[in-house]
Each structure stands twice: as C-alpha cells, then as structure tokens.
Amino acid sequence: MIHAFTFAIAANQTVAIVFLAIISYLALKEYLLLIPTRRIDRGLLLFAYLAVPTQYLWAATDWYNMFLVFVPVWMFLLFPALMALRGETQNFLRAVGTLSWGLMLTVFCLSHLAMLLVSGEVHNPVAGGVGLLFFVVVLAQFNDVAQYVWGKLFGQHQVTPAVSPKKTWEGLIGGVLTTVALATFLGPYLTPMDHAWSALAGAVVGVSEFLGDINISAVKRDLGVKDAGGLIPGHGGILDRVDSLTYAAPAFFHFFRYFFTP
Amino acid sequence: MTRFLRFLFYGVLVRGVILLGLGLTVRHRDRLPRKGPTIIAANHNSHLDTLALMSFLPLPLLPKLRPVAAADYFLSGKIRSWFARDIVGIIPLTRAQTRKGANPLAYLVTALDRGEILILFPEGSRGEPEALGRFKTGLGQLAATYPDVPVVPVYMHGFGKALPRGSSLLVPFNCTVSVGEALYGRDFLGPEREGAQARRAFMTAYEARISDLAAAETVPDWD
C-alpha cells in the first residue's frame, strides 16, 4: 500500500488524484457489499458511485468550498429525497443512514488526501502538497505498526475489549508517543511546521488513526464480518487498509489548514 | 476472425469490466477444471454469470468453453443470435417441451464428445435475483451418461445484485464465485440404482454441494 502511495504521489498530481479516487471507489464498493441494501435502491447506488469522481474533481480543481459541502450537504440531502420519491418506506432510515455514513467515510473523509495534495502547493512552501500527503500517510502507517509493537511488548489493559481486543492502552500511548517523535523529526522537512507544531500534529495523527481503526472495527463487528478474515481475499480488505486514514486525513487536514493558512 | 473477436471480447472487455468494475472473488480456484471434457454447473442469477465464469477460467481454454443457453431467448433476432453463437459461443438448448423422441441434450453430448467444457445452469432460468430456484434434472442425466466426466458445482453470489433480470443498468457490486469439489456420475450409478434413481441421487448431492458453498458466504442478501 505505502509503495503504491509513494509511486503515485511521486509520479504526477493527476495520477495521484486518480489513484486516490480509485481507493475511495474500492472502499465504497467494499462498504456497500458489507451493509444490507434494499433492492429498490440499486439504481441509486450508481449515483453514489458517481459521487466519487465528482468529489475528487472538486479536489483536483482546488474548489475548496464545493469540496467541503458536496457530500455533507448536497449528497446528504439528495439521497434521502431520491429514496423518498421512490416511495419505499420499509427500512428507509437504515438505508439513508448507512449510505450517507458510508459516503462521508469513504468519499468525503478519504478525499482529504487529494485536497491535501492540491492545496498544499499554496500552504506548504517547504515541500508542497506531496510533503503534506507524505507526512500524514507515513505517520498513520507508522503509528499503526508502532501501536502494534508497543501493544505486543507491554500490552496489559484493553481500551475497548468488545470492539478491538488487541488494542491496549500501553500500545496506544506508546504508539502515539513514538509517532510524535517521528513527526517532530519529519515535520520541518515536509511541512512549514516547527518542531513543537509537528509534535502536536503527530499526536493528532496518532490519536485519530487509532479512532479510525476502532471505528471500522466496530462496523465490522456489527455486521458480523470481523472474523471472516479473508472476506475478500487477494482483492481487498481495502477498508482495513484505509480505516485509519478515514480519520487521520481529515483530522490532520483541518488541523493544518486552521493553523497554517497564510 | 470470430475467434479473435471472441478472444477480445472475453480477454479484454469482460475481464476488464468484471475485475475492475465489479471486483471478483474466486474461492477454491484450484478446483476448477484444467481440461475438457468437463461440466461446470452453476446457479443462475444474471447474464453476468456466464461472462464471469468464462472470464476467470484460463484464456487458453476459451475455445473449449461452451455455455449452454436457452435457444428461445438467445436465438431470437439476427444480431443477438450471431453474438450468442459466435462470440459468447453458446450451445442452444430448447427449453420448451420437446417433440417426442428428440433429445434436447443431444448437442451437449456432442460437445462433451469433442472434449469441450460445458457451462450450464441447472436452474434453467435466472429467476429471482440472488435466490436459488429449483434445479432441473438434465444435469443428472448427463452425469449418468458420462459417468467419468467431472461435474464441478459452482456457487455465484452478487451478480444478481449487479445486473438482475429485467435491468440493463449495471451497478458495481463485489461478486463471489465459490468452486466446489467435482462430482462424478459413476459414484451414483450402481447395480441397485439406475436411471431416474441415479439421476435423483446425483441431483441431491449436487444441491447439497451448492447449499454448502452458499452457507459459507457471509455477505448480506437483499431485503
């Protein structure tokens, strides 16, 4: 995953955005496979897929306002309306809720990676959008490994036994501290942030990575696929790969944008 | 020329749409046949079933792959007929009650004699999407006629969501193809069992295999 990322963002911005859009598409497709859907909504799901290229178009053209409101406002309003017009009320709320939530997570949240790449040219004189994207992706992946290692070595007290029995406070704290250390080192090279801000950004990424991870774990437990392991062997488990980024990308993006917009 | 078009159709177009657009998971790929004669018997939900099956079998086998399809549906109209016969490569099967004496399975027998791989759908129709229909027993008859030809049960899931009967709108859904262990007609023939009895025993075993494969899937169905 990280290799593909590195390749894509090194190649050229358009390639990178298409690559990120494909990840969003695959994540949405996997999500729609896991949730129960209604037969009557079949055609609407095609519209849901169309939201992916549209949202990434806003990112590619740096249309920040539209990027922000497209899914949370327009798609949020559109899909319930379309479903209501079709007239099927059985499980209406479930259908609307699961679809909106999935679009937010797999399209809106993940597309922050693309926005980070595009808008970074203005906001990051040090290493551009690539620097910012690299910063958050490397830290999120690193944090995942660090939490695992710390948890393996010292893990005693579970954070949420019902959701993710392997996540421990020791792993979480050790992982986040390690990520903060790496962020402090990397930040000045990749971003306009100094050591102190970089450390804070590292903490934001570390904690949000953890939250994104347990969020998807909870969804999968609810749907009863947690132990299905190879639900989509070879092909996917794409949600498992990007679960942390669904939280880390928007959290870091808005943290950075708020404090470092010129 | 036709052969090249067929190769292009399956090798490029169908593979592209199914692998990239839909996403396909194949379980127990190793149980698939590597040579003919073989019968692949699958459940049927969508036109995509045939195409998907043909797209993940190795390309060199393509000239030998023959989906068995309803003559009344696929041979209606000139273009559809050309496309079905030459590109998809179907063996037409008459669904309606046949004349006395005419064996509807005759074409299939010839194809097996040529060492081809038959793809057939014992449900006989796509039916309600994502629901198993009743299996017809022609398969059991074939198995009894060719006791040493392997019959590979295949359970397909999701295609009926992606492109159900009566719709021309393809909606991406990850689909699953689960391959079962082969059954042989010879295991159901015996001194004490013959004809209709062997056929029924075979179909019972086949249905059990399909049900087992279906039970292993955890993905939610439609409401």
pTM of the model: 0.83
Spatial CA neighbour of B24 closest among B130, B219, B173: B173
Is residue B28 very low, low, confident or very high in pLDDT (cuts 50, 70, 90)? Answer: confident
CB contact under 8 A, A33 and B158: yes
Name the residue among A34, A46, A235 with its Cβ closest to that of B171. Answer: A46
Query: Given a cut of 60, is residue A32 above it in pLDDT?
Result: yes
* Residue entry with tokens 């994104």: A212
* Chain A residue with the nearest C-alpha to that of B130: A39
Which pLDDT value is given to residue B61?
85
DSSP element (H, E) containing A50: helix A42-60
H helices present in B25-133, as ranges: 48-56, 71-74, 78-82, 106-113
Q: How far apart are the CA of A108 and the nearest CA of chain B, in angstroms?
A: 19
At residue B70, φ and ψ (nearest 5 deg) are -65, 125
Name the residue among B25, B169, B223 with its Cβ closest to that of A36. Answer: B223
In chain B, which residues have their Cβ closer than 8 Å to the Cβ of A224? 218
Q: What are residue B92's DSSP bridge partners?
A: B69
A221 and B CB contact within 8 Å: no
DSSP element (H, E) containing B159: helix B159-162
In chain A, which residues have their Cβ closer than 8 Å to the Cβ of B167? 42
In chain A, which residues have their Cβ closer than 8 Å to the Cβ of B221? 36
* First CA to last CA distance, chain B: 45
Is residue A206 very low, low, confident or very high in pLDDT (cuts 50, 70, 90)? Answer: very high
Per the structure block, which two tokens stand in for A133? Answer: 């994207």
CB contact under 8 A, A35 and B220: yes
Q: Which residues of B58-92 are buried (b: 16+ CB within 10 A; e: fewer)?
A: eeebbebbbbbbbbeebbeeeeeeeebbeebbbbb
Q: Which residues of B161-188 are buried (b: 16+ CB within 10 A; e: fewer)?
A: bbbbeeeeeebbbbbbbbbbebbebeeb
Taking the CB of residue A36, how many other CB atoms lie within 10 A of it?
14
Q: Strand B117-120 vs strand B38-42: parallel, antiparallel, or unpaired?
A: parallel
CB contact under 8 A, A45 and B171: yes
Is residue A111 very low, low, confident or very high in pLDDT (cuts 50, 70, 90)? Answer: very high
Per the structure block, which two tokens stand in for A149? Answer: 């290692």
Distance CA A183, CA A205 (A): 9
Query: Given a cut of 50, is residue B2 above it in pLDDT?
Result: yes
Q: How far apart are the CA of A70 and the nearest CA of chain B, in angstroms?
A: 22
Long-range contacts of A162-166 (CB under 8 A, 24+ apart): A162/A221, A163/A214, A163/A217, A163/A218, A163/A221, A164/A213, A164/A214, A164/A217
- Classify B174 as helix, strand or coil: coil
On whether the CB atoms of residues B121 and B135 are closer than 8 A, the answer is no
Output Rg (C-alpha) for chain A, integer angstroms: 19
CB contact under 8 A, A46 and B164: no
Mean pLDDT along residues A63-90: 94
A220 and B CB contact within 8 Å: no
CB contact under 8 A, A43 and B174: no
A90 and B CB contact within 8 Å: yes
On whether the CB atoms of residues B80 and B74 are closer than 8 A, the answer is yes
Which pLDDT value is given to residue B176?
86
Q: Which residues of A196-227 are buried (b: 16+ CB within 10 A; e: fewer)?
A: ebbbbbbbbbbbbbbebbbbbbebbeebebee
Name the residue among A33, A38, A228 with its Cβ closest to that of B174. Answer: A33
Spatial CA neighbour of A99 closest among A192, A31, A146: A31
Question: Which CATH architecture best describes the domain B2-215?
Answer: 3-Layer(aba) Sandwich (3.40)
Residues A188-200 pLDDT 10s: 999 989 999 999 9
Total domains, chain A: 1
A229 and B CB contact within 8 Å: no
On whether the CB atoms of residues B112 and B118 are closer than 8 A, the answer is yes
* Size (chain B), residues: 223
In chain B, which residues have their Cβ closer than 8 Å to the Cβ of A236? 23, 174
Spatial CA neighbour of A115 closest among A253, A260, A11: A253
CA distances to A205, A222, A244, B54 from A211, in Å: 10, 16, 7, 43
Query: Given a cut of 70, is residue B153 above it in pLDDT?
Result: yes
DSSP state of A61: T
H helices present in A61-168, as ranges: 64-69, 76-86, 92-103, 110-123, 128-154
Q: CA torsion A14→A17→A22→A24, rounded to 10°? A: -170
Q: How far apart are the CA of A226 and the nearest CA of chain B, in angstroms?
A: 11
Query: Given a cut of 80, is residue A212 above it in pLDDT?
Result: yes
Question: What residues of B are in the A interface, CB distance below 8 Å?
Answer: 23-25, 27, 129, 158, 161, 164, 167, 169, 171-174, 218-223
Task: Give the range of the structural domain holding residue A161, as residue numbers without chain letter.
Answer: 2-260
* Chain B residue with the nearest C-alpha to that of A34: B219
Distance CA A106, CA A75 (A): 13
Mean pLDDT along residues A111-132: 85
* Domains in chain B: boundaries: 2-215
Cα angle A237, A239, A241 (rounded to 5 degrees) comes to 75
- Count of pairs with CB atoms under 8 A, one residue in A, one in B: 61
Which pLDDT value is given to residue A233?
47
In chain B, which residues have their Cβ closer than 8 Å to the Cβ of A45? 171-172
Q: What are residue B41's DSSP bridge partners?
A: B120, B153
* Residue entry with tokens 């129960």: A36
CB contact under 8 A, B222 and A38: yes
Residues A216-233 pLDDT 10s: 888 888 887 754 444 444
Query: Given a cut of 90, is residue A60 above it in pLDDT?
Result: yes
Mean pLDDT along residues A237-257: 90
Query: Given a cut of 70, is residue B96 above it in pLDDT?
Result: no
Spatial CA neighbour of B30 closest among B181, B151, B149: B181
Q: Is the dihedral of CA A60, A61, A62, A66 positive or negative?
A: negative
In chain B, which residues have their Cβ closer than 8 Å to the Cβ of A234? 25
ipTM of this complex > 0.95? Answer: no
In chain B, which residues have their Cβ closer than 8 Å to the Cβ of A221? none
